[in-house]
Amino acid sequence: MTALAETALYGPVKSFLEAQGFAVKGEVCGCDVVAVRPGEPPVLVIAELKLSFTLELALQAVDRLRAADQVYLAVVASRRGRDQDKRVHRLCRLLGLGLLAVDMRLGKVVLLCEPTPYRPRPNLPRRRRLLREHASRKGDPTRGGSTRQPIMTAYRQRALACAAAIGGGTARPRDLKHLAEDAGAILLRNVYGWFDRAEKGIYRLSEAGLTALRDQPAEPIEPEPGGSLQHG
């Protein structure tokens, strides 16, 4: 069985561009496909052919943008390859690159991304979460790139502060308000399994809570004046 060559993509891509009124020629000044549509000034399009999407192909296309009005990446169509990856489509749109999938069986081209500049639709909820979490954290407790330890979120910081305040005793949610406004919710939800209910409205640390304090003490948090702890 003969291995597929990149030249096999040329015919379908040439036909695709010719249907848009371009005069198409192959291997011009190091570019796989160069298409020109007459005008003042003429419209110059470059297409690069590869069997599959790669970072090198994207970098090559970015370089071609300096000379062309539009740049296409043309790859062999697949069912589960990179050409079907929505992240690849988003990357091409962000870079202003066109993406073509060539169906080798039918000899047809599917336009996956238009070669036009693109600005993604803002994700305002995610932006608000990022800003809120950044502002809520005390200091900078976790190194970027950490993967093998729990991330010290603002919520975890508040939970640790509550656990440190309880220590070996007990406390009521209102006793911890000076450390965390949502102390009641933290104790009630018990996300990390650190708190046990000693009696109605009064909490103590579980074994997991004592271990968390020992292994990962809370960041220093200055309490507001007032607030008392009930120890037993």
Q: How far is it, in rounded angstroms, from Cα 113 to Cα 90?
A: 9
Q: How far is it, in rounded angstroms, from Cα 88 to Cα 174?
A: 51
Among residues 88, 113, 138, the one where a domain terminates is 113
**163 and 104, same structural domain?**
no
**27 and 105, same structural domain?**
yes
Range of the domain at 82: 6-113
- Residue count of the chain, please give it: 232
pLDDT at 225: 39
pLDDT at 140: 79
CATH code for the domain of 98: 3.40.1350.10
Show the tokens assigned to 218: 């809370």
In sequence order, the 6+-apart residues with CB closer than 8 A to the CB of 208 are: 192, 193, 194
pLDDT at 29: 83
pLDDT at 226: 41
**93 and 42, same structural domain?**
yes
Rounded (5°) CA angle 58-103-65: 25
Q: How far is it, in rounded angstroms, from Cα 229 to Cα 163?
A: 12
C-alpha distances out from residue 53 to 45, 69, 81, 84, 147, Å: 19, 21, 8, 10, 29
pLDDT at 209: 94
**104 and 14, same structural domain?**
yes
141 located within any domain: no
58 located within any domain: yes
145 located within any domain: no
Among residues 86, 113, 140, the one where a domain terminates is 113
pLDDT at 85: 86
176 located within any domain: yes
Positions of the chain with pLDDT under 50: 1, 217-232
pLDDT at 160: 94
136 located within any domain: no
C-alpha distances out from residue 24 to 73, 207, 218, Å: 15, 73, 66
**172 and 106, same structural domain?**
no
164 located within any domain: yes
pLDDT at 135: 84
Among residues 113, 138, 173, the one where a domain terminates is 113
Instruction: Give how many domains the chain has, as a whole number.
Output: 2
pLDDT, tens digit (0-9, with 9 covering 90-100), for 56-67: 999 999 888 888
The DSSP bridge pattern shows strands 98-103 and 108-113 to be: antiparallel
**36 and 108, same structural domain?**
yes
Residue with tokens 């007990």: 170
Please, are residues 122 and 205 in contact by the beta-carbon 8 Å criterion? no
